[in-house]
Amino acid sequence: MERIVKANDREYNEKFQYADNRIHTSKYNILTFLPINLFEQFQRVANAYFLCLLILQLIPEISSLTWFTTIVPLVLVITMTAVKDATDDYFRHKSDNQVNNRQSEVLIDSKLQNEKWMNVKVGDIIKLENNQFVAADLLLLSSSEPHGLCYVETAELDGETNLKVRHALSVTSELGADINRLARFDGIVVCEAPNNKLDKFMGILSWKDSKHSLNNEKIILRGCILRNTSWCFGMVIFAGPDTKLMQNSGKTKFKRTSIDRLMNTLVLWIFGFLICLGIILAIGNSIWESQIGDQFRTFLFWNEGEKSSVFSGFLTFWSYIIILNTVVPISLYVSMEVIRLGHSYFINWDRKMYYSRKATPAEARTTTLNEELGQIEYIFSDKTGTLTQNIMTFKRCSINGRIYGEVPDDLDQKTEITQEKEPVDFLVKSQVDREFQFFDYNLMESIKMGDPKVHEFLRVLALCHTVMSEENSAGELIYQVQSPDEGALVTAARNFGFIFKSRTPETITIEELGTLVTYQLLAFLDFNNTRKRMSVIVRNPEGQIKLYSKGADTILFEKLHPSNEVLLSLTSDHLSEFAGEGLRTLAIAHRDLDDKYFKEWHKMLEDANAATEERDERIAGLYEEIERDLMLLGATAVEDKLQEGVIETVTSLSLANIKIWVLTGDKQETAINIGYACNMLTDDMNDVFVIAGNNAVEVREELRKAKENLSGQNRNVSNGHVVCEKKQQLELDSIVEETVTGDYALIINGHSLAHALESDVKSDLLELACMCKTVVCCRVTPLQKAQVVELVKKYRNAVTLAIGDGANDVSMIKSAHIGVGISGQEGLQAVLASDYSFAQFRYLQRLLLVHGRWSYFRMCKFLCYFFYKNFAFTLVHFWFGFFCGFSAQIALDTSYWTFINHVFIWGSIAIYFSILFTMHSNGIFGIFPKQFPFVGNARHSLTQKCIWLVILLTTVASVLPVVVFRFLKVNLYPTLSDQIRRWQKAQKKARPPSSRRPRTRRSSSRRSGYAFAHQEGYGELITSGKNMRAKNPPPTSGLEKTHYNSTSWIENLCKKTTDTVSSFGQDKTVKL
C-alpha cells in the first residue's frame, strides 16, 4: 500500500482516515479496565480455582462452610491487584497526556497557531525552532540554514548523539519563512506505507507539474531534536502511531514471574490431588452409608429411600472439595504480595543504589517481579548512556616516538592521574575549553620550545576534520561536530594553542600560538568504511602543498615511507599500550607534495569526477595513489568514558554465569571499542566472528563457517529450512551438552541481523550466539532489539533482562522478562516503560546479586513452609473423615481456630510490649518506689561492665555452635556454591603475576575506533559550501587564489543527485 498526503488540505486527507498525532502507551481506559484486568487476573489458575470454589459454596446441599470465607479474601486480592495495575496505568496516561499536550506552531488559515501535538493532522505544515522536539514524521520544506539544510539529534531513535544532516528539496527550500507562500503550498506526496525502518524512506513529491524524488535525507522523524538550526518548516507525513518511532515501540505486556507460572502448575497438580482425596472420601461415604448409615436414619427422621448411598457419596465429594480447599488457601497469594511489597521497599530504601550527584534513588516500579531478578540468565544492554557516559576526552598521544599524557613521579615512574594533580596551564587562556584537562607538562614544554614535529602533529588535528565553527552571543567559539571523538581532537588542539577558527569551501583558518594563519583547501579526501581514513590537501602561506592524513593504524601504517620503520615500531608499541587501556586510537601522518605532481593528480581527479562509468573506483584509485609514502607523526588516544563501575559489574555478572549481549544503534567499531573497554572483548579470545553478509545466503554461510570454526569440526548443516519448531527446539537444547573450549565473541550488524532473524536462519544465529561468551549487535533498530530478546525468550526458555536509557530501548525493555531503565541524558522514556530504574549501570550488580538472590531465596523458603503448613492442616481433616463416617464435618471450628490464632499472635506481642514499657515507667516507680529504685534502669544498666560481659558471653555461647556447625558443613559437605567459591580462590592463588606481553593484532582491533565513528560524505558537504552561512570572508595571509578550486565537488554532488532521481525505483539515496 502507499500513502497519499496533500499539504494544507485537511479535508482531502481525512477521507483516507489517517491516524491523528495522539499516542497511547497505556493498557486500559475507563471502559476497558474492568473486563481486561479481570481477564488478566483470572489467567492465574488460583483465582479461577477460588471462583469455582465460591460457586460451590453457594450450594447449601454440599457446603459446610459459608461463602463469606472465600469471597472476602478473593475480592480483597483482586481489588488490591486491580488498584496496583490502575495506579501503574495512571502514570502511563499521565506521561501520554504530557506528550500529547506539548505545544507546536501549526500553519492554519495562513497563520501560525499554537496547537497541541495531539491535534496535529497529516498534511499540516509545522514550524520547529532550535532545541525543539519533532512532533511527527515531517518532510523538510525549508530552514534557516543555507540550501535548506538542518541538523538533528537522533539519540532517542538510534542512541547516537552526533548530529545528522537533513536537507530540503531546492524547490521547497525557496519557500523560506514566507508564511503566505507556505500557506499556498499544495504539493502532493505519494510515499510508502507506515513501517519501522528508520534508515529508509521512499516517496515522490508532485508540485507545479513536476515530480521530485524523496529519500530518508529529506525526512525528520518524530523523537529527533532540532539542533544548531534557528527554525525549519516541515509537512506532516506520518502522525501518532504511524510514526517510525511508535512503529518501533513494543506493546506493553503482562509480565509474570517463573514462580507465578510454577504456582499455576502446582495448583493444577494440587487440584488433581484434591480430586483424588475427594474421590477416596466419597467412596468411603458411600460404603459407610450403605453398611452403617441405615442405623442412624431413625434418629435423623429420614424417609425410606429418600437418599441413596451413591447420591450421598456424590454430595460428600463436593463437600470435601470445599473443606479441603485450604490445601491452596487464598491467603497464600495475599502473603506473597505482601512479601513482594516488602522486597520492593528494600530496593527503594537501598542507600548503596542511591546516586547522590543527581539525588536519584533506585525505584521498583512493579512489585510482582522481585524474585525473578534472582533467575536472570541473559542481559541485553544498550551502549550509549548505559555503559558509557557518551563523553569523549583526549587522554594521551604519541608524537615522534614519545608518549605524552603520563605523569611521572620523582623516580620517573608512571603514576595514576588523580584529582590532586594540577592540570596544565594552557597558553591561550581566553580560547580554551574549560572542561578540558591535561596533566602532562612535557607536551606544553615541547610546544613552547617550538618542536616542529609537535607543531605539525597539532596542526593536523586543527586542519584535518569536518568540524564547523560559530560564535555564540557571548563571543565564545562553539564547535559543531559530526562525531564526538572528532570534536575531542579539535578541542585538544585548541587548548594546546592550535585553534580552528573558521572555514570556507576553499580555505581553513586556524590560530597557531596567537598567529592567525589561513590555509588554502585544495582537496578533501573524505572518509568511508573502506578507506578508514581522512585526508586534506592544503597550501600553506609559504606556498608549500601539504597532505595531512589521519585514520586507522592498520590502514595508515601500510601507506608509510620505508624510512619510518623505527618510528613505526615505537608508535605501534604505544598504540598497543593505549588500546590495552581501552582508549580509541588514531594514527597521524603527513606528506609534502610537489606542485607539478599535484597539478597532474588534480587534473586526473577532475576527469574521474566527470566520468560516467566506474567513477567511484577511479576516484578511490587516485586517493590511494596520493596517500602513499607518508611520514608518520604519531597517534592519538581518546577515551570514551565508561560509567563508573561498569568493568567490575560486567566481571561480577560474568562470574555469576550471566551472559551480557550489547545491542546498540551505534557503528560497529565504536561498539567493539566499548566491548574491549568493558572487558567483554579481549585480545586473548580465541576468535571474534564478524557477520556482515548483505543477503540471507551470505549470512547463513558466514554463520555456518563460524560454527565450524568454533566446534573444530565440519557438520552436516542443512540449508536452514526448519520443518517445525519442535525440531528447532531439540536442536537448540543440544547446545547445552556441547563443550566449548575457549572464549569466542560474535559481532553482527543490523543489516545482517535482519536476514539472520528470518525463520530459516535464526536457529543458526541463536546456536552460534549462545556458544559465544560475548555478543555485540551493531546498527540495530529498536524493533530488532526487541526481536533479539524475543528470540532468546522463545527458544532458550531463559529469563531475560533488558537495560537502557533512551526511547530507542523502550521496545526491548517491554519485551524482556525484566525491564530496567537508567535515568540518564536521553529523557525518561526508558524509565517510564521499565519495571526497575536507577541512575547508574553499576547498580545492576546489587539489584541482581543481592536483592534478586535474596528475594528468590526468601520466596522459595516461604512457599516451602506454607505448603507444608497447609498440607499438615488439610490432611488432618482427611484423617478425621475416617472417624466421622465420612460426613464432611470439619475437625476444627474455623471461627474458633481463627480467634485462637489472633489471640496468641497479637496478644503475645501486646503483652510483651506492655510489660516492657510498664517495668520502665514513672508510674510503676511511684507505686513501688522500693522495688524499682532506678528509673530508666535499662539505659543505666548499659554503663555497667558486667552487663556487657554477660551480653558478650551469651552471644558467643549462642553463636559459637552455629559457626562450628557451618564451618564443618562447608568443609565436610560443601554445596555447589561452596565448591565454586573454593575453586575461584584457588585459581586466584595459582594465577601467575601478569607480565607485559605483546598483544595479538587483528583487523578488527579497537585501535581504529575513530574512523568508524565518522560518517561518510561530510567532505563533499564542506567543499560544496552548502552547510555554510553567508558571512564576511575570513582574513587571509595574502595568498593568491589558484585555479584549483572545489567546483568539481559541486558538480559531483549534482551529478549524484541527478542519478538518484533517475534511479528512484531502485531504492538509491543521495549521500552527502
Q: What residues act catalytically?
A: 382
Bridge partners, 149 (sequence order): 167
> 188-192 and 203-207: which strand pairing?
antiparallel
Reduced to 3 states (helix: H, G, I; strand: E, B; else coil), residue 226 is: strand
CA-nearest of 922, 1004, 453, 425 to 749 is 1004
- What is the rounded CA–CA span in Å between residue 572 and residue 735? 40
Residue identified by cell 482425596 is 277
Instruction: Identify residue 290 by its one-letter amino acid code.
Output: S
CA atoms of 136 and 240, how far apart (whole Å): 7
Q: How far apart are CA 930 and CA 926, in angstroms?
A: 9
Which residue do the cell numbers 508532485 mark? 206
Beta-carbon contacts of 1067 under 8 Å, excluding residues fewer than 6 positions away, are: 200, 202
User: Cα(703)–Cα(765) distance, rounded to whole angstroms?
Assistant: 7
| Contact residues for 351 (Cβ-Cβ < 8 A; gap 6+) | none
Nearest partner of 706 among 734, 731, 682, 686, judged by Cα: 686
Which DSSP letter does residue 850 get?
Answer: I
Bridge partners of 379, per DSSP, are 660, 801
Residue ranges with strand state E in 400-556: 402-404, 407-408, 414-415, 468-471, 477-480, 498-503, 507-512, 515-525, 533-539, 545-551
How many Cα atoms sit within 13 Å of 727 on the Cβ side? 8
CA atoms of 446 and 341, how far apart (whole Å): 63
Alpha-carbon distances, residue 349 vs 364, 403, 559, 960 (angstroms): 10, 47, 59, 32
Is the CB of residue 1009 less than 8 Å from the CB of residue 673? yes
Q: What 8-state DSSP symbol labels residue 833?
A: H
Q: Is 769:762 a contact under the CB 8 Å cutoff?
A: no
Cα 140 → chain centroid: 30
Q: How far, in Å, CA of 493 to CA of 461, rounded?
A: 6
Beta strand extents in 343-483 (DSSP E only): 363-364, 378-381, 388-399, 402-404, 407-408, 414-415, 468-471, 477-480
Alpha-carbon distance of 633 to 570, in angstroms, equals 11
Beta strands in 293-387 (DSSP E): 363-364, 378-381
The DSSP call for residue 994 is P
DSSP SS3 for 393: strand
Cell numbers at 842, concatenated:
553499576
Q: What is the 3-state secondary structure (H, E, C) of 150-179?
A: EEEECHHHHCCCCEEEEECCHHHHCCCCCH
Element holding 705 (H helix, E strand): helix 696-711
Q: Please give the Cα distance from 809 to 770 (Å, whole number).
A: 22
Which residue reads 526511547 in cell numbers? 807
Q: How far is CA 481 from the centre of its chain?
A: 24
Element (H, E) at 13: helix 10-14
Cβ pair 550, 1014 in contact under 8 A: no
Residue 3 backbone dihedrals phi, psi, to 5 degrees = -110, 135
Phi, psi of 303 (to 5 degrees): -75, 150
Q: Give the position of cell 503550498.
A: 185
Does residue 866 sit in helix, strand or coil? helix
CA distance 644 to 648: 9
